[in-house]
């Protein structure tokens, strides 16, 4: 009986030893994996910081001291029909091309704007009546690096689209030179310059440019010349 008890005790000790060994092996593998993952993440973080530092040193973040900031729409537009590139976007790119300015498009955070013209005008009018401040997506570039900012949009009911007032109020344009431009089908600049000055009283607002949307789509050679003449008057 003693012999049987001794055999049972030995077997229990052997099982206990296997369990400890197995548990130990199982614990070591995840620990090593975590250490390797942390090392990889640290390496990636260092690489990202190095790239960011290089970008800051070589000036790639702000490649110019001028910025073209614009809001534009595609879809069905007055006179020109359905377009896949916005009128204001076309003019904005011409300005950037001729000045070397950086480009930034203001995009709605929730793009509820209809693609049909009549429905779009209804929404635009309702926002104006409500004095709405629609949110835009993301953040503007760091404005500290820009001294001159071209700001453009289509004329909506004789005014800036309300989303642009969100931009004006959420960012500091103090000390900047602001240069408005509009696309329209008969309303011209529509007081964009005066309204921009009121919204950004600590900025200097220069002479604006108004371009017909139909010309932006169908007479780009002449629009490019008009942009060039306007920029020359401004000293570019």
pLDDT of residue 187: 96
pLDDT tens digit sequence for 148-203: 999 999 999 999 999 999 999 999 999 999 999 999 999 999 999 999 999 999 99
Structure tokens at 231: 């920029």
- Give the CA distances from residue 151 to residues 52, 68, 178, in Å, rounded to whole numbers and listed in that order: 28, 6, 7
pLDDT of residue 148: 98
For the chain, what is the mean pLDDT?
82
- State the Cα angle at 101 between 205 and 152, rounded to 5°: 45
pLDDT classification of 33: cutoffs 50, 70, 90 = very low
Could you say which architecture CATH assigns to the domain 66-233? Answer: 3-Layer(aba) Sandwich (3.40)
Q: Return the domain boundaries, the chain.
A: 20-61, 66-233
pLDDT of residue 94: 98
On whether the CB atoms of residues 78 and 159 are closer than 8 A, the answer is no
216 or 60, higher pLDDT: 216
On whether the CB atoms of residues 182 and 226 are closer than 8 A, the answer is no
pLDDT of residue 222: 98
pLDDT of residue 61: 62
pLDDT tens digit sequence for 42-64: 334 333 333 333 333 344 467 78
pLDDT of residue 63: 78
Q: Is the pLDDT of residue 19 over 90?
A: no
Beta bridge partners of 205: 178
Residue 165's SS3 state is helix
pLDDT of residue 190: 98
- Residue 160, Cβ neighbours under 10 Å: how many? 26
On whether the CB atoms of residues 70 and 92 are closer than 8 A, the answer is yes
């Amino acid at each position: 009986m003693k012999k049987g008890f001794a055999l049972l005790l030995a077997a229990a000790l052997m099982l206990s030893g296997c369990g400890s060994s197995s548990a130990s092996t199982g614990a070591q593998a995840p620990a090593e994996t975590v250490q390797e993952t942390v090392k990889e993440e640290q390496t990636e973080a260092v690489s990202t910081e190095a790239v960011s530092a290089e970008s800051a040193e070589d000036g790639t973040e702000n490649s110019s001291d001028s910025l073209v900031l614009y809001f534009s729409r595609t879809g069905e537009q007055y006179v020109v029909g359905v377009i896949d590139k916005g009128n204001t976007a076309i003019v904005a790119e011409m300005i950037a091309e001729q000045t070397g300015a950086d480009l930034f498009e203001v995009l709605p955070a929730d793009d509820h704007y209809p693609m049909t013209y009549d429905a779009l005008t209804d929404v635009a009018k309702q926002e104006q009546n409500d004095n709405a401040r629609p949110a835009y997506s993301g953040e503007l570039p760091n404005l500290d690096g820009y001294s001159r900012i071209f700001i453009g949009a289509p004329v909506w009911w004789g005014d800036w689209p309300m989303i642009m007032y969100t931009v004006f109020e959420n960012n500091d344009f103090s000390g900047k030179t602001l240069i408005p431009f509009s696309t329209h089908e008969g309303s011209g600049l529509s007081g964009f310059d005066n309204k921009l000055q009121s919204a950004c009283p600590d900025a200097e607002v220069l002479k604006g440019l108004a371009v017909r949307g139909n010309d932006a789509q169908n007479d780009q050679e002449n629009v490019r010349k008009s942009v060039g003449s306007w920029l020359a008057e401004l000293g570019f």
